[in-house]
């Protein structure tokens, strides 16, 4: 198999399957070999299921031979983040306080990926209970970026971003409760859509963050992202929050452009201090929309600082998680997670209620703002990918000022939001442009993503990644 296939999009792979120019068994075997080769260097997988993935590939190959694929992506390999149940496999959440008990059933998204015929090569790494926007954990150790192994691929879907950006699979599953798809996508130059809350069912909904989490994938193309949404969106009776089916194909109208759209740009929301390089790259990226025929306005201050209203929601929810862990296992926890969760034990019901009132106000304010603007553009993060040794939620790298100040608002409001590559810093690390749409307007965000992608000309493999991976293989 040629090196090109490692960097092909899922749509390209599917067309090759249909022409019988490529074998699912051959591709999956080569992807597994690549994953096993890079795993010691980048540490992006918790589990690898070689036999299960090859069995699924053989079944896919037979379906393609009969011209009866289960979906357009039948036989396209992917992975599931290890915060998400996959029947027969443990769900460890990056924690030594969990065990190897196999999941009794699939999560909604895991089941839909299986039903589409996609071989699942393994489960990807996450920080403990997905608590931070970096990916290291007591259970698995440190996950690294293929752009520069000294830097984090972001989090909490960092295993997924590291794999996708290193050519292991064309896309990998992630989820986003505060930026956990968009942040790693920004740090590794990927396409990362957080769909509208409820667009993809959240089952099981046993996380204390269940009403802010969206499921999705980290990909290398907008078309792949839209096609995966076709396969995974839609209601599930087990999730009362899931949205009704829109009855649409998200790829139709994808190339409709943004001419005449009114777009707002906020580089700081009025209070976030982004690195100068990030500001320049994001503003330059935003101006591409003017060349595409949109009207881009600098809208200035937009969202109040989040910490005062929403710190109780964050720490309190992890406090709930801590209460579920036997006391004798607390010493096994990530010290940063444990300290945060212990703070959450002091959060009162009144604190929690006030946070939910503020959440409702923010959603109202953004809905009113979108009466004027079709989209909002902003940075995804204030910095490029930090070094792997960064201490998250420390004085030097606070969640509220450095971690997720640009992304968290749109988990609280449930709006669709995406990261697209904005360019590289002088040190060669990617920066992300965030594209935010009105409530439930996933199709609008995807259309804007595609217009921007066509103008940007960002292609894979990226030379800096090839150079970095070459050093790992030397």
Angle formed at CA 244 by CA 239 and CA 246, multiple of 5 degrees: 140
Contacts of 314 (CB under 8 A, 6+ apart): 178, 340, 344, 399
Strands 375-379, 262-265: pairing kind: parallel
Catalytic one among 8, 23, 60, 81? 81
How does 444-474 read in b/e, with b if 16+ C-beta sit within 10 Å? bbbbbbbbbbeeeebebbbebbbebbeeeee
CA distance 125 to 166: 15
Among this protein's residues, is 2 annotated catalytic? Answer: no
Catalytic one among 110, 145, 156, 157? 156
Among this protein's residues, is 156 annotated catalytic? Answer: yes
Catalytic one among 23, 95, 145, 180? 180
Three-state DSSP class for residue 46: strand
Among this protein's residues, is 332 annotated catalytic? Answer: no
Q: For residue 382, give the nearest of 270, 278, 269, 264 by alpha carbon.
A: 278
CA distance 167 to 130: 24
DSSP string for residues in 204-264: S--STTTTT-EEEEEES-HHHHHHHHHHH-S-BTTBTTPPPP----TTTTTT---TT-EEE
CA distance 211 to 78: 26
What residues act catalytically?
Answer: 81, 156, 180
């Amino acid at each position: 198999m040629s090196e090109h296939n490692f960097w092909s999009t899922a749509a390209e792979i599917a067309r090759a399957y249909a022409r019988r120019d490529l074998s699912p068994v051959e591709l999956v075997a080569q992807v597994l070999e690549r994953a096993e080769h890079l795993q010691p260097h980048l540490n992006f997988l918790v589990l690898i299921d070689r036999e299960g993935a090859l069995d699924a590939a053989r079944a896919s190959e037979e379906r393609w031979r009969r011209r009866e694929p289960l979906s357009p992506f039948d036989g396209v390999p992917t992975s599931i983040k290890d915060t998400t149940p996959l029947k027969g496999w443990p769900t460890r959440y990056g924690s030594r306080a969990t065990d190897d008990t196999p999941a009794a059933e699939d999560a909604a998204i895991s089941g839909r990926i299986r039903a589409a015929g996609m071989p699942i090569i393994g489960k990807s790494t996450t920080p403990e209970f997905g608590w931070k926007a970096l990916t290291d954990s007591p259970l698995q150790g440190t996950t690294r970026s293929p752009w520069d192994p000294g830097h984090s691929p972001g989090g909490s879907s960092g295993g997924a971003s590291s794999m996708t950006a290193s050519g292991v699979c064309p896309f990998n599953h992630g989820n986003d409760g505060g930026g956990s798809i968009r942040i790693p996508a920004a740090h590794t130059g990927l396409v990362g859509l957080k769909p509208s809350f409820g667009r993809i069912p959240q089952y099981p909904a046993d996380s204390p963050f269940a009403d802010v989490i969206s499921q999705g994938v980290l990909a290398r193309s907008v078309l792949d992202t839209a096609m995966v949404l076709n396969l995974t969106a839609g209601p599930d009776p087990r999730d009362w929050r899931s949205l009704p089916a829109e009855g649409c194909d998200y790829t139709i109208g994808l190339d409709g452009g943004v001419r005449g759209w009114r777009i707002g740009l906020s580089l700081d929301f009025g209070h976030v201090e982004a690195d100068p390089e990030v500001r320049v790259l994001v503003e330059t990226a935003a101006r591409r929309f003017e060349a595409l025929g949109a009207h881009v306005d600098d809208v200035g201050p937009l969202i109040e600082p989040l910490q005062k209203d929403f710190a109780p929601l964050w720490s309190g929810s992890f406090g709930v998680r801590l209460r579920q862990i036997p006391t004798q296992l607390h010493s096994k926890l990530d010290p940063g997670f444990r300290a945060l969760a212990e703070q959450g034990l002091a959060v009162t019901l009144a604190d929690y209620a006030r946070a939910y009132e503020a959440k409702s106000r923010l959603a109202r304010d953004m809905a009113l703002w979108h009466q004027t603007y079709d989209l909002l553009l902003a940075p995804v993060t204030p910095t490029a990918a930090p070094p792997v040794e960064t201490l998250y939620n420390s004085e030097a790298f606070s969640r509220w000022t450095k971690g997720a100040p640009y992304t968290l608002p749109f988990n609280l409001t449930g709006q669709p939001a995406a990261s697209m590559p904005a360019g590289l810093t002088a040190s060669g690390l990617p920066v992300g442009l965030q594209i935010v749409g009105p409530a439930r307007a996933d199709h609008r965000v995807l259309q804007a993503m595609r217009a921007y992608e066509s103008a940007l000309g960002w292609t894979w493999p990226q030379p800096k990644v090839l150079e970095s991976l070459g050093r790992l293989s030397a």
